């Protein structure tokens, strides 16, 4: 598609040089107002105007619609392509986030301050994405990362501060963050919804939104200097779980070439197995009854506030095996070699883990202690080792059918926080380092944090570029190898470490994982 720019790159460079000379010549006069250079680019639906950052190294396009607003009769239906627009659409502000309960900050009950939480408007009209690119020249063909936010499929947004893509884009990739429908609006199944669906499916609307975003990116990312043949999907927590769903879904086949899961891949799950469509539909019927809705028409007439209003018993929706988006549980799909086989990177944080096991006698055999303090340290250490093992076991499982490499990390750098040292390397605490976004948080950062952020963001950018996180100036990250139970530690000291001290410990931890999951 033809692309136009308000100022092309060469013209912009000449003007900046002229302005620079003027500023030098005018040093003793009143300062000139700050200059903002806006670029236009064409996508399938029309023309967008983005915004250049302060040093003219990255252009952002925010609040770009990738599907029609899923409202009214489109509530609980698969996403449809967005409408076209006339003239120029301003893309300087984020679009609304998905309907959810806004909490702004979890403190003091958790480590998630406002930089980790949704701060903007929420609406059913929420299917927007945001792009940061170091180029809008289609000839550049830069690799692309589509990032899926976390939040237990109940909250979150692509507009959250710590997901700002500017610094990561400076490493030579196009960064895209997305919204998707959440909670009851994103994942409620119901037999009447299944009956009206041409795909005989219901309840996976949030995942379908993610696929719709991928489809839009494949069609349009060239307009932002991106390469549709080099797209990596990445996510944290529920976003990581979403990445796993997409790696297993036939609907996402060919739409991406790499996958990253942060705190979201394990072979042995404590969730008790996936939800069937039938069970999910029963949840939907129970929910409708609790809301006093006799049919779909009445459900669709309820306001979002009424839908989110607390009910007893509480029902949480999280998708299901519907035979369409997801054809079986993910471990089975990988065992049969039916997955989207791409390079895969996964890992976890040191202080989001817990020991899973009940055998106290054998525990003391492998993790001896003589005091309560030593016991607490031993339990913590066992939990961290067990979590590393669980992530490694997932790579071991996928290796049976995958032809691509897998990499696993262990992140143990705690955000410096004198008021809350106990939070440590908490769940989501790696995100500012991945995005090289320490500037988004007011913390007493040190040179170590800057180094960790530079290293970690380089691993991610390298993986997006080539499917391999390694590159110059950073410690070597070894790919999974059969029998080599080691992971990359990322922190003040970065390098490969063994999962546990002995094979006996690993066998014990594996047995405890399996016994707790049964």
Q: Where are the domain boundaries for CATH 3.40.50.1820 in the chain? A: 39-342
Q: With a cut of 80, say whether residue 189 has pLDDT above it.
A: yes
Residue indicated by tokens 């009851």: 184
Q: Quick one: pLDDT band at residue 274, thresholds 50, 70, 90?
A: low
Cβ–Cβ < 8 Å for 267, 396: yes
Q: Quick one: pLDDT band at residue 329, thresholds 50, 70, 90?
A: very high
CB atoms within 10 A of CB 497: 14
HSE (CB half, 13 Å, CA atoms) of 222? 10
For residue 485, give both structure tokens: 């139970």
Give the DSSP letter of residue 54. Answer: T
pLDDT at residue 425, rounded to an integer: 97
Percent of the chain with pLDDT over 90: 84
Which tens digit of pLDDT belongs to each residue from 472-490?
999 999 999 999 999 999 9
pLDDT at residue 53, rounded to an integer: 94
Residue indicated by tokens 């029609």: 68
Cβ–Cβ < 8 Å for 72, 134: no
Which tens digit of pLDDT belongs to each residue from 365-374?
999 999 999 9
pLDDT at residue 18, rounded to an integer: 30
**What are the DSSP calls for 216-279, one per residue?**
HHHHHGGGGTEEEEEEEEEEETHHHHHHHHHHH-GGGTTS-SEEEEES---SS-SS-SPPBHHH
Catalytic residues: 237, 352, 427
- Identify the CATH number of the domain defined by range 39-342: 3.40.50.1820
Q: Can you tell me the distance from the alpha carbon of 265 to that of 239, in angstroms, rounded to the nearest whole number?
A: 11
Q: Which residue has the higher pLDDT, 360 or 459?
A: 459
Measured at the CA of 346, the angle between CA 345 and CA 348, to 5 degrees, comes to 150
Which tens digit of pLDDT belongs to each residue from 493-512?
999 999 999 999 999 999 99
């Amino acid at each position: 598609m033809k692309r136009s720019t308000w100022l092309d790159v060469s013209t912009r460079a000449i003007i900046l040089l002229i302005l620079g000379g003027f500023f030098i010549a005018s040093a003793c006069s009143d300062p000139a107002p700050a200059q903002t250079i806006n670029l236009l680019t064409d996508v399938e639906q029309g023309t967008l105007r983005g915004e250049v950052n302060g040093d003219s190294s990255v252009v952002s396009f925010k609040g770009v619609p990738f599907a029609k607003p899923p409202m009214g009769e489109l509530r609980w239906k698969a996403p449809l392509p967005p409408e076209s627009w006339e003239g120029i659409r301003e893309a300087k502000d984020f679009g609304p986030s998905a309907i959810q309960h806004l909490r702004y900050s979890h403190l003091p009950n958790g480590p998630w301050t406002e930089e980790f939480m949704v701060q903007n408007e929420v609406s059913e009209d929420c299917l927007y994405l945001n792009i940061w690119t170091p180029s809008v020249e289609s000839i550049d063909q830069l690799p692309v990362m589509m990032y899926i936010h976390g939040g237990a499929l109940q909250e979150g947004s692509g507009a959250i501060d710590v997901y700002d893509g500017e610094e990561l884009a400076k490493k030579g990739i196009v960064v895209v963050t997305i919204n998707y429908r959440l909670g009851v609006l994103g994942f409620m199944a119901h037999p009447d919804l299944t009956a009206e669906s041409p795909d005989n499916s219901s309840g996976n609307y949030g995942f379908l939104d993610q696929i719709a975003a991928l489809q839009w990116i494949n069609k349009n990312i060239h307009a932002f200097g991106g390469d549709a043949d080099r797209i990596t999907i990445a996510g944290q927590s529920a976003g990581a779980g979403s990445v796993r769903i997409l790696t297993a879904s036939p609907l996402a086949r060919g739409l991406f070439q790499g996958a990253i899961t942060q705190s979201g891949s394990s072979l042995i799950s404590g969730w008790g197995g996936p939800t069937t469509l039938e069970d999910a539909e029963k949840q939907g019927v129970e929910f409708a009854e609790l809301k006093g809705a006799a049919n779909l028409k009445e459900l669709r007439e309820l306001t979002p506030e009424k839908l989110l209003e607390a009910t007893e018993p509480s029902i949480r929706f999280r998708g299901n095996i519907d035979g369409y988006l997801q054809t079986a549980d993910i471990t089975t799909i990988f065992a049969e070699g039916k997955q989207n086989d791409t390079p895969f990177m996964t890992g976890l944080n040191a202080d989001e883990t817990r020991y899973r096991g009940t055998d106290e006698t054998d525990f003391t055999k492998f993790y001896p202690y003589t005091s309560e303090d030593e016991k607490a340290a031993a339990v913590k250490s066992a939990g961290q080792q067990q979590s590393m093992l669980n992530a490694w076991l997932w790579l071991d499982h996928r290796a049976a059918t995958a032809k691509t490499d897998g990499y696993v990390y262990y992140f143990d750098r705690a955000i410096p926080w004198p008021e809350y040292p106990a939070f440590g390397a908490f769940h989501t605490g790696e995100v500012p380092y991945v995005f090289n976004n320490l500037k988004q948080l007011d913390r007493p950062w040190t040179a170590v944090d800057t180094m960790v952020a530079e290293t970690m963001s380089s691993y991610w950018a390298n993986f997006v570029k080539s499917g391999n996180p390694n590159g110059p100036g950073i410690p070597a990250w070894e790919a999974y190898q059969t029998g080599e139970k080691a992971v990359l530690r990322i922190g003040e000291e970065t390098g490969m470490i063994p999962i546990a001290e002995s094979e006996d410990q690993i066998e014990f931890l594996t047995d405890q994982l399996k016994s707790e999951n049964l």
